Amino acid sequence: ILNVEQSPQSLHVQEGDSTNFTCSFPSSNFYALHWYRWETAKSPEALFVMTLNGDEKKKGRISATLNTKEGYSYLYIKGSQPEDSATYLCAFSSRAQKLVFGQGTRLTINP
Amino acid sequence: GAGVSQSPRYKVAKRGQDVALRCDPISGHVSLFWYQQALGQGPEFLTYFQNEAQLDKSGLPSDRFFAERPEGSVSTLKIQRTQQEDSAVYLCASSSYREVGHGYTFGSGTRLTVV
């Protein structure tokens, strides 16, 4: 059974502060690691898809790193804004066409 | 359309009732997925289509769940004789790729409540 764990489960951050959270996944049969942002009442939005060990990707104030040998990825948000409040989901895929999701990190930015 | 459209947005069903959830993927997307998200959990894979072919249905929890995509575009997820444990958000996603390693576009989901 594939297990994807995210920590912490929830996080409150002051506006302007930077934050990060973790996704751990199986290091065997790895093919890709996905990050999604899911705001309440909206669709999950793709942030990053990473496939190579050592990958670092950036989108505005959000960045992510990938370590496939040890099975973890970090998501960083620099200078948090209220619009960053959402649930952040990571998902692992092997060569099978399906994603195995973690339970998500619920981020709340306090103004 | 511009995105993946799911309907209805909310559905309340009495236990034992049959329900049908619809997904309109992005036009031309060959891959289509259904996921189930129970409260407090991450989404869990149900089934995957490539065009009209259902290539993986390993995540369907019981034979009460059935999915189809007869013309390779719109898909319907049908749940027969609904039970309370079927209460969840059902997400549909599509992709223009056949291969893994690419992001998917998700719909907003259908929230099913079985009473």
Instruction: Report the residue from B43, B102, B108 with minimal CB separation from A101.
Output: B43
Interchain CB contacts (distance < 8 Å): A and B? 66
- pLDDT of A61-93, one tens digit each? 999 999 999 999 999 999 999 999 999 999 999
How far is it, in rounded angstroms, from Cα A92 to Cα A25?
7
d(CA A72, CA A67): 5
Local confidence pLDDT in tens for the 115 residues of chain B: 579 999 999 999 999 999 999 999 999 999 999 999 999 899 999 999 999 999 999 999 999 999 999 999 999 999 999 999 999 999 999 998 877 677 899 999 999 999 9
User: A36 phi and psi, to 5 degrees?
Assistant: -130, 150
B103: DSSP letter: -
Chain B positions in Cβ-Cβ contact with residue A98 (cut-off 8 Å): 33, 45, 48, 56, 59
pLDDT at B3: 93
A23 interface with B at CB cutoff 8 Å: no
User: Of the spans A1-5, A29-33, B94-98, which averages the highest pLDDT?
Assistant: A29-33
